[in-house]
Amino acid sequence: MNTKADLKPVVVTRAESSDGPLSRELRSLGLRALLWPAVSVTSADLGPLTAALAAVSSFGWMVFASRHAVAAVLERLPTAPPGVRIAAVGQATAQVLRQRRWPVDLVPEEASAAALIEAFAARFSARDTGVKILYPASSRALPTLAAGLTQLGAQVTQVEAYRTEAAALDVAQCRDWIARGGVGAVTFASPSAVTELARALGEEDFQRLLSGAAAVAIGRTTARELAARGHTAVVAESATLQGLARTTHRLLQTRA
């Protein structure tokens, strides 16, 4: 088994600083983090979100799929709206809401849109037909969640809460690490991070990177994006940054 001194660095592809939450988790486990931010999170045109929140009492549910959406909403609506039930995709998002004293009524066991749709289906009845759901989302949100809830009979209002865009990556430095085989694992916290890292590096270098380094995904949706590119990812023990870090650490310890 490798010692901490032998373990190769871990790439962090999410948008964060050197003191970001995933980097801190990795360092607490004795791992060095390499910041390769493939995506950046920026402000959106918040007019539609502001208008939707002004009429929030007309909604039966509000659904959050990320902490960034939570941040955008809570900046404009600090307290939970009475009478509106709250659903979250994953414990990490739910935890942020609870820290701000927002009650969370529905969290699926698996942090995925499909799992949340199943959780809604299990509790929906005929009287829920036509219920209005507010879904503050990323500019790159997949259609899975809104489409699934609509099929259950809900009226979904999806509004852009933040933008997910490609980040400025030091590609030359990344390629140097790849050429030296210096990376132990690459962590992915979203499908967009997979897409944008592959785009920035180019398919050849992306393939070379993941042929020598382990790919670790925060959840099954992200793992599926890697699988579509020919790579099998290890899925984090829990869909949280702590779970992502712990799984990466355990994987590196057991790899020859």
Domains in the chain, number: 2
Report in angstroms the alpha-carbon separations of 2 from 5, 137, 244: 8, 41, 19
Instruction: Specify whether 184 is located in the same domain as 160.
Output: no
> Is residue 37 very low, low, confident or very high in pLDDT (cuts 50, 70, 90)?
very high
Which of 117, 135, 164 corresponds to the end of one domain? 164
Instruction: Specify whether 84 is located in the same domain as 140.
Output: yes
Residue 177 has a pLDDT of 97
Instruction: Specify whether 10 is located in the same domain as 59.
Output: no
> Is residue 196 very low, low, confident or very high in pLDDT (cuts 50, 70, 90)?
very high
* Stronger pLDDT, 235 or 190, i.e. the higher one: 235
Instruction: Specify whether 181 is located in the same domain as 148.
Output: no
* Whole-number Å distance between alpha carbons of 125 and 230: 40
> Using only C-alpha atoms, what is the Rg of the chain?
19
Instruction: Specify whether 248 is located in the same domain as 209.
Output: yes
Residue 220 has a pLDDT of 85
Instruction: Specify whether 149 is located in the same domain as 77.
Output: yes
Torsion 234-236-237-239 (CA) sign: negative
Residue 188 has a pLDDT of 97
Instruction: Specify whether 65 is located in the same domain as 145.
Output: yes
Residue-wise pLDDT for 170-189, tens only, equals 999 999 999 999 999 999 99
167: left (phi over 0), alpha (psi -120 to 50) or beta: beta
Residue 6 has a pLDDT of 77
> Is residue 233 very low, low, confident or very high in pLDDT (cuts 50, 70, 90)?
very high
Torsion 126-131-137-140 (CA) sign: positive
pLDDT at residue 255 is higher than 90 = no
Per-residue three-class SS string for 180-239: HCCCCEEEECCHHHHHHHHHHHCHHHHHHHHHHCEEEECCHHHHHHHHCCCCCCEECCCC
Residue-wise pLDDT for 61-102, tens only, equals 999 999 899 999 999 999 999 999 999 998 889 989 999 999
Average pLDDT value for the chain = 92
Instruction: Specify whether 79 is located in the same domain as 128.
Output: yes
> Is residue 41 very low, low, confident or very high in pLDDT (cuts 50, 70, 90)?
confident
* Whole-number Å distance between alpha carbons of 91 and 107: 7
Residue-wise pLDDT for 133-149, tens only, equals 999 999 988 889 999 99
Instruction: Specify whether 30 is located in the same domain as 95.
Output: no
Instruction: Specify whether 47 is located in the same domain as 155.
Output: yes
Contact between residue 33 and residue 27 where contact means Cβ atoms under 8 Å apart: yes
Structure token digits, residue 31: 């791992």
Residue 206 has a pLDDT of 97
* Whole-number Å distance between alpha carbons of 119 and 87: 10
Range of the domain at 190: 4-38+167-254
> Is residue 1 very low, low, confident or very high in pLDDT (cuts 50, 70, 90)?
very low
- For the segment 201-206, the average pLDDT, to the nearest whole number, is 96
In sequence order, the β-bridge partners of residue 234 are 216
Instruction: Specify whether 137 is located in the same domain as 184.
Output: no
Name the residue among 93, 103, 95, 38 with its Cα closest to residue 69: 93
In sequence order, the β-bridge partners of residue 217 are 188, 235
Give the distance, in angstroms, between the CA of residue 153 and the centroid of all CA atoms in the same chain: 26
> pTM of this prediction?
0.79
Query: Which CATH number do you get for residue 228?
Result: 3.40.50.10090
Which of 138, 164, 190 corresponds to the end of one domain? 164
At 136, give phi and psi (nearest 5°).
-75, 125
pLDDT at residue 212 is higher than 80 = yes
Which of 164, 192, 210 corresponds to the end of one domain? 164
Instruction: Specify whether 67 is located in the same domain as 181.
Output: no
**Burial (CB count <10 Å: 0-12, 13-18, 19+), residue 238:** middle
